[in-house]
Chains A and B, each alone.
Chain A
């Protein structure tokens, strides 16, 4: 395939060199054992990749979401799964942009040095998925502490993180003029919380993705762990959500290229009836179509990154990038599995694993239908449909 270098070639080369130390068997074994890719995430941390978004003054590299997205893309393109570690990337800007100087000084250097992980974000609840302002988890100020009660679900990497950014309601919905007001975000020390007040229940699932239910029963956290101003948490959490969507778009793009590369190599080689199956248009066209869609999604990814890094509103672009990229990687995954025939189902080809992993992103972190509703309502100005 033609190689067109971009402005991030040094980052791509660096991540690829690291990923090359963790071949397909490594990720396959981690998946089979439902394990966490501890060595891989440690290596990424040690080599500074997980601190890309931390400003240089705090020991990071001070890069933007564009560079962070390249790191995630390359991990997935190399056959890995950024889902094990992308939380730290999308949470980081929330802490960097909205945290106090004291919080930045207390946490960022330690995260940069790999002593602490900030891999979890607690937003979703069993009865309120994307309807975020209706969350029922509450934080009530009592003296110098906040007391948290409620429940969260699909909260990932809790067992492999030291901190979580938690969204809770600090002013009841009935008492605020706008429903997006009265929400606050907190930095929760996970290990401390698990001693008293927070129970973690893992959810076994289709992909090797460590995700959990969380139950809060009078969890007390210091008031210093409030990020930004009380009541303005919804605005802050969007910083994390928009980053999350954009990064996942990039991961899907990495997956998309992994699938098109993998299937192109296979159909060029696989001989049936005396010629490579890749000579048939019925085989070529779905692969070409998927490739075109991945390339197009990539353009929207750069648009979202550009706006995000300029501090501009980018909700629509982040969502549209995620929509396009997840759709493209899924098409690519389908073509890849289909043309591998039976071998696509054999674990040793890695296709079935990547197929499951990329399928997640039609659903998480926001489902495809809800992106369509968002665009219909907020971009096109159509009546709210729900």
Chain B
């Protein structure tokens, strides 16, 4: 079985995000970028499936700017076998929307015929949480979202989902799209020999046009604002005083 893992290049989770002066988005110039952490978990899961003999090839895919090849090299250094980069934007500030990404991945799935697509449940930059679901719909495949456990047995995948009320385990028919949650695994970091090997692994470069997908945005960002600064707190002397203050503030 071949496993396809889409990975997104996003602002590094350690970076303090700054809004651009014109409010059109977040400033990404000269900012450290990394692989979306949920996608790292997806790559890790795919590699574990290969190590367990349940998959024979792991293909990483990224859709975005040319620099996303660094993100793909990270996936290759972790253990993916090869990579496909689909250039769909020139400017690092252009975010390709989930529907366009899902359509491009569908094009890749049609060509590659994987048995499983493992995606992060969402990207930490815009938290859309849509691509995996859209892809399953476009392909007409089953889907298992927010996975904290994935168990593949022949034609079915048992997916444990993290839902509001607790854990839900579903059985879905293969091929399937699984979106992964935080607790599925702890991704490995790349060793030096694997970083060196990754430089030699194949990385195909394509464009959105190769898949006949129009990436023109359908959504308009009206404004982007930083979270309001936290107001100074006040130290209270007793529980009674706390309750009084909360009542005064209309909080209780």
Residues on A lying within 8 angstroms of B by beta carbon are 2-5, 9-11, 13-14, 17-18, 46-49, 51-52, 56, 61-63
Q: Contact: B193 with A48, CB < 8 Å?
A: yes
CB contacts under 8 Å to A, within B8-51, are 15, 30-32, 34
Q: Total contacts A to B, CB within 8 angstroms?
A: 48
The smallest C-beta distance from A9 to any residue of chain B, in angstroms, reads: 7
Q: Is the interface of B mostly helix, strand, loop or mixed?
A: helix
CB contacts under 8 Å to A, within B168-217, are 189-196, 198
From A59, which residue of chain B is reached at the shortest CB distance?
B193
- Chain B: interface residue total (CB-CB under 8 A): 18
Q: Contact: A48 with B30, CB < 8 Å?
A: no
The smallest C-beta distance from A47 to any residue of chain B, in angstroms, reads: 4
The smallest C-beta distance from B102 to any residue of chain A, in angstroms, reads: 28
Q: Contact: A51 with B190, CB < 8 Å?
A: no
Q: Contact: B32 with A5, CB < 8 Å?
A: yes
The smallest C-beta distance from B196 to any residue of chain A, in angstroms, reads: 5
From B189, which residue of chain A is reached at the shortest CB distance?
A17
Q: Contact: A10 with B77, CB < 8 Å?
A: yes
Q: How far is the CA of A9 from the CA of B77 in the complex (A)?
A: 13
Residues of A within 8 A of B192 (CB): 11, 14, 47-49, 51-52, 61
Say yes or no: is B121 at the interface (Cβ < 8 Å to chain A): no
From B197, which residue of chain A is reached at the shortest CB distance?
A61
Q: How far is the CA of A9 from the CA of B31 in the complex (A)?
A: 13
From B30, which residue of chain A is reached at the shortest CB distance?
A2
Q: Contact: B32 with A61, CB < 8 Å?
A: no
From A20, which residue of chain B is reached at the shortest CB distance?
B189
Selected A-B contacts with CB under 8 Å, 24 pairs: A2-B30, A2-B31, A3-B15, A3-B30, A4-B30, A9-B70, A10-B70, A10-B73, A10-B77, A10-B190, A11-B195, A13-B34, A14-B189, A14-B195, A17-B189, A17-B190, A18-B189, A46-B191, A47-B189, A48-B192, A48-B193, A52-B192, A61-B193, A62-B196
Q: How far is the CA of A238 from the CA of B138 in the complex (A)?
A: 65
From B15, which residue of chain A is reached at the shortest CB distance?
A3
The smallest C-beta distance from A73 to any residue of chain B, in angstroms, reads: 15
Residues of A within 8 A of B15 (CB): 3
Q: How far is the CA of A48 from the CA of B197 in the complex (A)?
A: 12
Q: A2-B31, A13-B74, A48-B193 are in contact. List 14 more A-B contacts (CB 8 A).
A: A10-B77, A10-B190, A10-B198, A13-B190, A14-B191, A14-B195, A46-B191, A47-B192, A48-B191, A48-B192, A48-B194, A49-B191, A61-B192, A62-B196
Which 7 pairs show the lowest CB-CB distances between chains A and B? A17-B189, A48-B192, A47-B191, A3-B32, A48-B193, A2-B30, A48-B191
